Structure 1
Amino acid sequence: MQQNKPKFAFYVNMDDYESMSNSYGSTSSTPAKLTTRIQHIRISSRESLRIRSLADHMQYADPQGHAQALGIGSAVWPLFGLLWPSSIQLARKLNNRPVREGESILELGCGLGLTSLMMHKRGAQIHASDCHPMVPHFLKLNQALNGLSDLPYVHAQWGEQSCPDLLASLGLIPAKQRYDLIVGSDLLYEGNTPVQLAELVNQRAKDQAEVWLVDPDRGHRNKFTQEMELYGFELVRQVCLRDRPILTPEGKELPYKGRCLQYQRG
């Protein structure tokens, strides 16, 4: 007899709002205010995290143009601060994967850092990475919320690269290390991403490496697999995630449609 899978209410404390000063790189006496909320994310029956995210999805605060200089316009500026369903799915998948001694891990496009924080909490040697200048600040906030510290962060982006002098002026250290495992969620959102992302993965992956990517069926999965094959990566497993719904605080199911793609080289 098949047992019903446990359902986890991921989103709670939705009304825990705060205003927060965005003083990142600002010389203004009145820094821009960001409205945030704290969400309690239950990854499994034993693992959960509190995540501070943006409450208003239309917020924008780039007083000195740092994000713009990094190629991040006003339309996409707040995306880093949203808790995307695919990030929860990735955290759930990796939570079931044993932590391997000495294994180096890189999360690309970490955003609020849910997966990196979860793996860091479990003792994994993981580096969080993104290209948004506000991500390091939110990572520090979310580490403090969960009693964590010392999660390494590096700057990593695919496509057009940022000026090294700009990164240095912002205190951002570019990713240079090569890793045993590279992970990410909901990264294939534009038509040119498969080529650019596969190139970055190849640069940052060891000769023998794994890649885990959760994709909500945005339509670029096959192209990404083709690009990965050019760098010697084989798609060894696809896990359908349609049977893993996310629940609202009211208990309403929001069905998730996507896949966990697992690649291997060497």
Structure 2
Amino acid sequence: MAAAGRQWRLTRAADLEELWDAMTADPHNFEDERLPYWTELWPSSVALAGWLAARQEEIAGRACLDLGCGLGLTALVGQWLGARVTAVDYEEAALHFASRNAALNGVTPPCWALMDWRRPAVRARSMARIWGGDIMYEKRFVAPVLRFLEHALAPDGAAWVAEPGRSVYEAFLHALHSGGWQGRRVHTARVEPLYAQPVPVTVQVWEIRRRAD
């Protein structure tokens, strides 16, 4: 696929439907809702990759974090653009395939880390930029993601969240504005169909910063 001005090759375990069918044989797979969304390349990741390329001067040479890296596309784009990327995911299998994708594309691997965003494993206020593609798809994620940003984002840092118009994002924006943050839409992209996705998807990228007192 093409993103950020070059071609990328990505490998994955299977498609989401196949992994879902395999999971249903063992009810323990649904504990804490460990659903295999990581195995898909989502339109938000493609749009976010383009945004990172447009902001190369902001990320090159700086400590950045990819929150919920999945197959690794945006982590690899950031690393290729010169950022010092830490890429985290809740699922070990996702990190395995993301690491393989770094090798496939000749990109110096980011720092891969298995992490639950409810239990931050990065130094406090150490990240100049944090980004994530389509991470806000359940309302229960709003509070822990905001707590993670409060912990990990540098005082003058920014987070970029790409989202495809999910209704839950309104709850996230409300929590942002009532919790000492400011968010503004900085980019809109029309992503052409991926896999069997029938129609293009419009993705918005939001920039989040601490609100100045």
Q: Distance in 2 between matches of 1:158 and 1:128?
A: 12
Candidates 42, 55, 62, aligned match of 2:2: 42
Matched, 1:133 2:100: no
Residue of structure 1 equivalent to 2:14: 55
Residue of structure 1 equivalent to 2:159: 211
Residue of structure 2 equivalent to 1:150: 109
3-state DSSP of counterpart to 1:50? coil
**TM-score with structure 1 length normalisation?**
0.67
Contact 1:208–1:264 at 8 Å: present in 2 too?
A: yes
Candidates 72, 81, 90, aligned match of 1:122: 81
3-state DSSP of counterpart to 2:187? strand
Q: In angstroms, what is the RMSD of aligned CA positions?
A: 2.9
Residue of structure 1 equivalent to 2:137: 189
Candidates 226, 246, 254, aligned match of 2:199: 254
Contact 1:54–1:82 at 8 Å: present in 2 too?
A: no
Instruction: Report the alpha carbon displacement of residue 157 of structure 1 after superposing the two structures with TM.
Output: 2.6
Structure 2 spans left out of the alignment, 5+ residues: none
Matched, 1:174 2:138: no
Q: Distance in 2 between matches of 1:184 and 1:154?
A: 15
- Given residue 32 of structure 2, which amino acid in structure 1 is its aligned partner? G
Contact 2:88–2:112 at 8 Å: present in 1 too?
A: yes
Instruction: Say which structure is richer in helix.
Output: 2
Q: Considering only CA atoms, is the larger Rg found in Structure 1 or Structure 2?
A: 1
Q: Distance in 1 between matches of 2:95 and 2:194?
A: 28
3-state DSSP of counterpart to 1:99? helix
Instruction: Report the alpha carbon displacement of residue 249 of structure 1 after superposing the two structures with TM.
Output: 8.3
Residue of structure 1 equivalent to 2:40: 82
Q: How many residues align?
A: 204
Q: Distance in 1 between matches of 2:130 and 2:144?
A: 15
Contact 1:86–1:186 at 8 Å: present in 2 too?
A: yes
**Per the alignment, do residues 68 and 200 of structure 1 end up closer, same or farther by CA in structure 2, a change over 3 Å counting?**
farther
Structure 1 spans left out of the alignment, 5+ residues: 1-40, 162-172
Deviations along 1:116-162, whole A, 9 cap, x unmatched?
00111122111111111112211221011111233111233334x5x
Contact 1:50–1:145 at 8 Å: present in 2 too?
A: yes
Instruction: Report the alpha carbon displacement of residue 253 of structure 1 after superposing the two structures with TM.
Output: 7.6
Q: Distance in 1 between matches of 2:181 and 2:116?
A: 20
- Work out which structure has the larger RCO, using CA pairs closer than 8 Å and 6 or more positions apart in sequence: 2
- Give the percent of matched residue pairs that are identical in Structure 1 and Structure 2: 25
Instruction: Report the alpha carbon displacement of residue 254 of structure 1 after superposing the two structures with TM.
Output: 2.5
- Given residue 150 of structure 1, which amino acid in structure 2 is its aligned partner? P
Instruction: Report the alpha carbon displacement of residue 97 of structure 1 after superposing the two structures with TM.
Output: 1.0
**Per the alignment, do residues 69 and 153 of structure 1 end up closer, same or farther by CA in structure 2, a change over 3 Å counting?**
farther
